[in-house]
Structure 1
Amino acid sequence: MIQILTIGRHPEILQTVVRLVNNNPDWHCTGVMSDEDAMAAFTSQAFDLVLLGGGIEKQSEEKLCNAFKAHKPGIIILQHYGGGSGLLAAEIYEGLRGVKLG
């Protein structure tokens, strides 16, 4: 199963994204709102992909991306700003293309 960490600043949007990702039986999504929760989750679980939602400040995004890459150099990090479930799934599939998981 592909493990996805989703970070978002808006609770309703984050909840929707997590639900949409979890609709795929091959994916499991963990959603967090704060940088601290993101780092705690990332260092305690084996994620294959990180999904950055809208509302994350540039400084936080850079700090998180650098920390994730330092901890797991091959981590896939995608930005998703909306556009519906079809676009979200396509972005995830594109990000995972050619990646050997597990």
Structure 2
Amino acid sequence: MRNIKILAIGTNEQIMETILRLINQNPMWQGDIALSSQTAGMMLNAPNYDLILLGSGSDESEIRLILKDRMLNIPVVLHYGGGSGLLLCEINQALKPSSI
């Protein structure tokens, strides 16, 4: 089984580093972070992500427009806090076979 690639997008570098660490604690997940929509857009030029995680400061409409322009059908999860347990549940819910 291959790793699930997750792109987490948010503007607070410390928070995003924590989110990245939490994502990468799961041996089946591989995370990357982008600190701006522009960086995320460049990273999405190669369609190799299975899930987008939007954090604080991210622009949901801009990210969805990037996905639409590139004809990428990647689930988007909104995460604006609530702790690591909530984060992991949100990701697991989005990765259920009926969700992707």
TM range (shorter): 0.7 to 0.9
Equivalence map 1:13-92=2 (5 Å): 13-56=15-58, 60-92=59-91
Deviations 1:44-90 (A, max 9, x none): 2500000000122xxx3212112113324421001001112111110
Task: Report percent identity of matched pairs.
Answer: 37
Change in Cα spacing, 1:96 to 1:43, as seen in structure 2 (3 Å) is same
Change in Cα spacing, 1:99 to 1:27, as seen in structure 2 (3 Å) is farther
Is 69-78 or 44-53 further displaced after alignment?
69-78
Gaps of 5+ in 1: none
Matched, 1:97 2:99: no
Contact 1:69–1:75 at 8 Å: present in 2 too?
no
In structure 2, the partner of 1:2 is: 4
Gaps of 5+ in 2: none
Distance 1:97 1:69 in 2: 22
SS of corresponding position for 1:16:
helix
Distance 2:47 2:73 in 1: 15
Q: TM-score, normalised by structure 2?
A: 0.88
Following TM superposition, the consecutive aligned residue runs of length 4 or more in structure 1 with deviations greater than 4 angstroms are none
* RMSD of Structure 2 on Structure 1 (CA): 1.7
Quote how far apart the aligned CAs of 1:8 are.
0.7
Quote how far apart the aligned CAs of 1:100 are.
8.5
